[in-house]
Amino acid sequence: MTALEAAGLGKRYGRTWALRECTLAVPEGRVVALVGPNGAGKTTLLHLAVGLATPTAGSVRVLDGHPAGSPAALDRVGFVAQDMALYRNVSVADMLRIGRCLNRRWDQARAEARLAELDIPPRRKVGRLSGGQQAQVALALVLAKRPDLLILDEPVARLDPLARHEFMSALMTAVAEDGISVVFSSHVVAELERLCDHLVVLAGGRVQVAGEVDALLAEHKVLTGPAATADAVAAAVPVVRDRRAGAQAHLLVRDRRTAGANGRNAPPPGWEAHRVDLEELVLGYLRAPAAAALPGPGRLATGTVPVQGAPRLRGEHA
């Protein structure tokens, strides 16, 4: 069961490819984080997934094969745009009424209960609510249509830490209660570890790395050792980021060989292997945009995210 599946997906605006050769598949019931610098193609990918943009190349399907943007998909997909897309001069109650009229699936009681729980006054105009409350209204609206797939474009970008926590708490509660699949883009890398179980890193319109968080963490490690033997070590395994000084080198590597009998690959003699956390992994890729993956595999098995190898980079010698 796939929530989102892209095959050779590309989008060109004029002469610029905002996204290209994007191939990935995300199983249902997962929380997928989409990260990358501004202009990497995150919003383009999300817009393609909800049907707000049409592909220049390839295809994108949601919820077991429905073309993105088709009526069958639209009924089951919820989208929260970057600007929350609320009418500022309309009351909260009227926003709910608009939602009820525009959607075939709608759970009015649930939305009302959700907003009452948050002490958001229904008669107040949306523009007079705090940023955190506006975000909660947008979430209540999109959850009222009982989506199976929820897509959010930087939902917490403009929220203060407390409002961000409350928003993510509400979102994760919805995942726990309804088992919905979530795809969201974010710049708050430090919070990803507790939020997502799948990760997609975009750079320059291409997928740099994608996969299940646990698998990615198991594959990546930092090798620390003498700079003198760093070239030999770097030649043996794909290096994402290569940091060196006169005597010492740190290589963030992706080692996808099957683990040895003792459950891990022993580091080369004189080298130590360190585990990386998700933040270090993501920052490593963001700092090395040239570690872009080669074009992804043409075919993929349903329910898996193809993980793409990062070619070795030139060392950045200090």
Partner 1 sequence: MTIDKQGSSPIRFRLDGGSGVPTYLQLVQQVEHALRVGFLHLGDQLPRVKDVVADLAINPNTVLKAYRELEHRGLAVGRPGQGTFVAGTLGEVGSRELAGLRRGLLRWMRTAADTGLDEDGMVALFTSALADFRDGRAGVVA
Nearer to partner 1, 146 or 165 (CB): 165
Nearer to partner 1, 161 or 311 (CB): 161
State the nearest-atom distance from the C-beta of 114 to partner 1, in Å: 12
Structure tokens at 127: 């523009």
Closest CA to 313 of 224, 208, 212: 208
Binding positions for partner 1, rule: CB under 8 A? 29-31, 165-166, 168-170, 172-173, 175-177, 190, 193-197, 217, 262, 264, 266, 277
- How many other C-beta atoms lie within 10 A of the C-beta of residue 170? 17
Q: How far is the CB of 139 from partner 1 (least distance, A)?
A: 13
Between the two ends of the chain, the Cα-to-Cα distance in Å is 47
Taking the complex as a whole, the smallest distance from the CB of residue 55 to partner 1 amounts, in Å, to 30
- β 272-275/220-226 pair status: antiparallel
CB atoms within 10 A of CB 273: 17
Minimum Å distance from CB 177 to partner 1? 7
Q: How far is CA 277 from the centre of its chain?
A: 16
Rounded CA-CA distance 182/20 in Å is 22
The CB-of-275 to partner 1 minimum distance in angstroms stands at 8
**Of 317, 305, 307, 303, which is closest to residue 64 (Cα–Cα)?**
303
Sheet holding 316-317, edge to edge: 272-275, 220-226, 248-254, 239-244, 316-317
Instruction: Please write down the HEC assignment for all residues of 227-243.
Output: HHHHHHHHHHCCEEEEE
| 57/273 with CB nearer partner 1 | 273
Q: Would you tell me how many other CB atoms lie within 10 Å of the CB of residue 176?
A: 9
Helix (H) or strand (E) holding 78: strand 77-80
Least distance (Å) from partner 1 to the CB of residue 272?
Answer: 8
Shortest distance (Å) from residue 224 CB to partner 1: 12
Task: At 61, list the tokens.
Answer: 């399907």
126 vs 182, beta carbon nearer partner 1: 182
Nearer to partner 1, 15 or 194 (CB): 194
Pick between residue 180 and residue 234 the one whose CB is nearest to partner 1: 180
Considering beta carbons, is residue 52 or 170 the nearer one to partner 1? 170
